[in-house]
Amino acid sequence: MPVMTPAMLQQFIIDEFPQVLHLDCKIEHVDDSTITVRMSASENHLRPGGTISGPTMMELADATMYFLLLAQIGPVALAVTTSLNINFLRKPAPGDLIARGKLLKLGKSLATGEISIYSEGMDDPVAHVVTTYSIPPKRNAG
Amino acid sequence: MPVMTPAMLQQFIIDEFPQVLHLDCKIEHVDDSTITVRMSASENHLRPGGTISGPTMMELADATMYFLLLAQIGPVALAVTTSLNINFLRKPAPGDLIARGKLLKLGKSLATGEISIYSEGMDDPVAHVVTTYSIPPKRNAG
Amino acid sequence: MPVMTPAMLQQFIIDEFPQVLHLDCKIEHVDDSTITVRMSASENHLRPGGTISGPTMMELADATMYFLLLAQIGPVALAVTTSLNINFLRKPAPGDLIARGKLLKLGKSLATGEISIYSEGMDDPVAHVVTTYSIPPKRNAG
Amino acid sequence: MPVMTPAMLQQFIIDEFPQVLHLDCKIEHVDDSTITVRMSASENHLRPGGTISGPTMMELADATMYFLLLAQIGPVALAVTTSLNINFLRKPAPGDLIARGKLLKLGKSLATGEISIYSEGMDDPVAHVVTTYSIPPKRNAG
């Protein structure tokens, strides 16, 4: 069972990760190996033509993996991305994006996951990401 | 429905793609968007310690995506890999490898897929691959 | 010789690509195969602790490749990123970032480049990116 | 200064890494951050048409990074690849391949490098690779 619930993750964003507040993420589900995050498409993220920009999707994927990792190991603010590989597959439709993340490996020092990003109401993914986080060693309690 | 069956793909390997014969692949299943390929672990692929080498897994993933693509578009020998990204997740167990491929996008000129490689009898993947093939333009018949 | 100069690229940003204005990029150099882009580190991009965020570096790399490509082929607003692979190597120092891009291939329909991102005054890169853009086919003039 | 010379690396291949003997690699140069490896193109690696196969280039890149890493840290046979990202850029010419590797980061537990692969006599790379190795922790002497 994950150690952080969606509500705890939402509070963590407010307290420790305000730089993603602009994505307006809602953690819809999290369990031992998967997560679903909805991003409200506001004016800020739109490219001319009404689609969400590539960098916004990269940021959403990065945050989704971070939430999925934190849900397993607790609020370790110092976990950092070591690599991220994204393929842009289709033009997103106007509207919300749904990121579905899955842990591929949760090791002691590295965690790897994949994230598929969907436009609401489309069956095929608009982008696919594989990313690895580095987990800092635990400090001994004093 | 795919245009090539597993049997047709096996014959294609013999006729047009003999360089992967050493992988001893068996196409166990193919449909419109997924494929399952089993690789028999022979002595040739083993590293000291009895595990299958990383380059062998890269070759298996590359071939798996090629088979999945050919199954959809027919025996286009000239499709070529443009990129491949692999994450090695766990040490494979001795024994066969199972590659499960899924199309992420089949476009006119590019096809992208992901492949998870499993050791027989293990639940978690030993490697995960995302790869893109370039599809040559169709020539007009004379 | 590139078809767009740094000054033309700066004007293109203002006219056609305002969503990267917040990066405050200065195109310092561009030639047939390389580009240098300086990003002023303003308060907006900083994480707690004063370092520039990962997503900001991804956006800088993506924009750098776009500028390098446009410099070669002219202001084709419809070129789009198809893939981006980033490795985060070191914590950036406070201060400006310098992105140095190099074309690996400029084909008819795909262009691939690599970008190393440096913190001003550090010898080793803070991040390394390989990315591919898709170039739309030319329309025939009417 | 590297702790292993080209001659020591060649001997290491024979003693500990015989699975790459088939690549017929010659370590032409190694220093603190770069390496040059020549692969003789024998019949074994050729695809129909006389070009070297993609999987062979992946194997060459993987081995080149391994040699570059070992040159810095000594003959640690247990270093393993964690990820590899390759872009195939051009069809190789018949003849030898030259792999030029460069360390991007040598950390305590991870080392990342990039490798450009050239066909002898061609100016532009045929493939470009970024790869990360995991370095096992040192055991304390007993």
Give the span between the Cα atoms of B32 and B3, in whole angstroms. Answer: 9
Give the span between the Cα atoms of D109 and D43, in whole angstroms. Answer: 38
Kindly state the tokens that stand for C61. Answer: 């790399």
Q: How many CB pairs under 8 A join C and D?
A: 37
CB contact under 8 A, A112 and B128: yes
The pLDDT assigned to D41 comes to 76
The pLDDT assigned to B51 comes to 75
pLDDT tens digits along B52-76: 899 999 999 999 999 999 999 999 7
Å from D109 to nearest chain C CA?
A: 12
Share of chain C above pLDDT 70, in %: 89
The pLDDT assigned to D68 comes to 98
Residue B58: which of D47, D58, D88 has the nearest Cβ? D58
CB contact under 8 A, A83 and D110: no
Give the span between the Cα atoms of B62 and B131, in whole angstroms. Answer: 7
Work out the average pLDDT over D63-70: 97
Q: State the SS3 of chain A.
A: CCCCCHHHHHHHHHHHCHHHHHHCEEEEEECCCEEEEEECCCHHHECCCCCECHHHHHHHHHHHHHHHHHHHHCCCCCCEEEEEEEEECCCCCCCCEEEEEEEEEECCCEEEEEEEEEECCCCCCCEEEEEEEECCCCCCCC
Give the span between the Cα atoms of B43 and B52, in whole angstroms. Answer: 9
Confidence tier at D48 by pLDDT (50, 70, 90)? low
Token pair 């450009």 is found at: D116
- Whether residue D57 contacts residue D119, with contact meaning beta carbons closer than 8 Å, is answered with no
Work out the average pLDDT over D7-14: 96
- Whether residue C27 contacts residue C63, with contact meaning beta carbons closer than 8 Å, is answered with no
User: What's the mean pLDDT when you consider all of chain C?
Assistant: 91
Instruction: Return all residues near C35 (Cβ < 8 A) that are at least 6 apart.
Output: C27, C29, C64, C67, C68, C71, C99, C100, C101
Share of chain B above pLDDT 70, in %: 89
Work out the average pLDDT over B102-128: 96
Give the span between the Cα atoms of D21 and D17, in whole angstroms. Answer: 8
pLDDT at A97 over 70: yes
The pLDDT assigned to B66 comes to 97
User: What's the mean pLDDT when you consider all of chain B?
Assistant: 91
pLDDT tens digits along C46-70: 666 667 899 999 999 999 999 999 9
CB contact under 8 A, C85 and D85: yes
Eight-state DSSP code of residue C63: H
Share of chain A above pLDDT 90, in %: 74
Residue B109: which of C83, C85, C109 has the nearest Cβ? C109
Instruction: Return all residues near C141 (Cβ < 8 A) that are at least 6 apart.
Output: none
CB contact under 8 A, C110 and B82: yes
Work out the average pLDDT over D104-123: 96
Which residues of chain B make contact with C83, given a CB cutoff of 8 A?
Answer: 83, 132
Q: Chains with 3 or more CB pairs closer than 8 angstroms to A?
A: B, C, D
Confidence tier at B41 by pLDDT (50, 70, 90)? confident
Å from A132 to nearest chain D CA?
A: 10
Confidence tier at A36 by pLDDT (50, 70, 90)? very high
The pLDDT assigned to C25 comes to 95
pTM of the model: 0.94
The pLDDT assigned to C142 comes to 37
pLDDT at D126 over 90: yes
Helix (H), strand (E) counts: chain D:
2, 6
Work out the average pLDDT over D28-39: 98
- Whether residue B69 contacts residue B78, with contact meaning beta carbons closer than 8 Å, is answered with no
The pLDDT assigned to B47 comes to 63
CB contact under 8 A, C90 and D105: yes
- Whether residue D67 contacts residue D75, with contact meaning beta carbons closer than 8 Å, is answered with no
The pLDDT assigned to C45 comes to 62
Give the bridge partners for C30, in sequence order: C35
Amino acid present at D17: F
- Whether residue A64 contacts residue A53, with contact meaning beta carbons closer than 8 Å, is answered with no
Kindly state the tokens that stand for A42. Answer: 């506001």
CB atoms within 10 A of CB D77: 13
Kindly state the tokens that stand for B49. Answer: 């310690």
Higher-confidence residue: A49 or C112? C112
Range of lowest pLDDT (A63-77, C42-56, C108-122) = C42-56
Å from B89 to nearest chain A CA?
A: 6
CB contact under 8 A, C54 and A84: yes
The pLDDT assigned to C135 comes to 94
Range of lowest pLDDT (A1-10, B133-142, C83-92) = B133-142
Mutation target among A84, A88, A90, A105 for the B interface, most CBs of B within 10 A: A105
CB atoms within 10 A of CB B78: 7
Which residues of chain C make contact with A80, given a CB cutoff of 8 A?
Answer: 54, 88
Work out the average pLDDT over A8-24: 92
Give the span between the Cα atoms of B81 and B112, in whole angstroms. Answer: 10
Confidence tier at A76 by pLDDT (50, 70, 90)? confident
Q: State the SS3 of chain B.
A: CCCCCHHHHHHHHHHHCHHHHHHCEEEEEECCCEEEEEECCCHHHECCCCCECHHHHHHHHHHHHHHHHHHHHCCCCCCEEEEEEEEECCCCCCCCEEEEEEEEEECCCEEEEEEEEEECCCCCCCEEEEEEEECCCCCCCC
The pLDDT assigned to C96 comes to 93
D95 CB-contact burial (10 Å; exposed 0-12 / middle 13-18 / buried 19+): middle
The pLDDT assigned to B9 comes to 97
Q: Would you give the end-to-end CA distance of chain C in angstroms?
A: 28
Query: B141 φ, ψ to 5°?
Result: -65, 150
pLDDT at C127 over 60: yes
Q: Would you give the end-to-end CA distance of chain A in angstroms?
A: 28
Higher-confidence residue: C17 or A134? A134
User: How wide is the angle at C-alpha B106 spanned by C-alphas B29 and D49, nearest 5°?
Assistant: 80
Amino acid present at A18: P
Give the span between the Cα atoms of A74 and A63, in whole angstroms. Answer: 15
Q: Distance from CA of residue D14 to its chain's centroid?
A: 15
Give the span between the Cα atoms of A101 and A80, in whole angstroms. Answer: 17
CB contact under 8 A, D84 and B81: no
User: What's the mean pLDDT when you consider all of chain D?
Assistant: 91
Instruction: Return all residues near C140 (Cβ < 8 A) that are at least 6 apart.
Output: none
Give the bridge partners for B99, in sequence order: B37, B117
pLDDT at B117 over 70: yes
The pLDDT assigned to D104 comes to 98
The pLDDT assigned to C52 comes to 87
Q: Distance from CA of residue B126 to its chain's centroid?
A: 15
The pLDDT assigned to B118 comes to 98
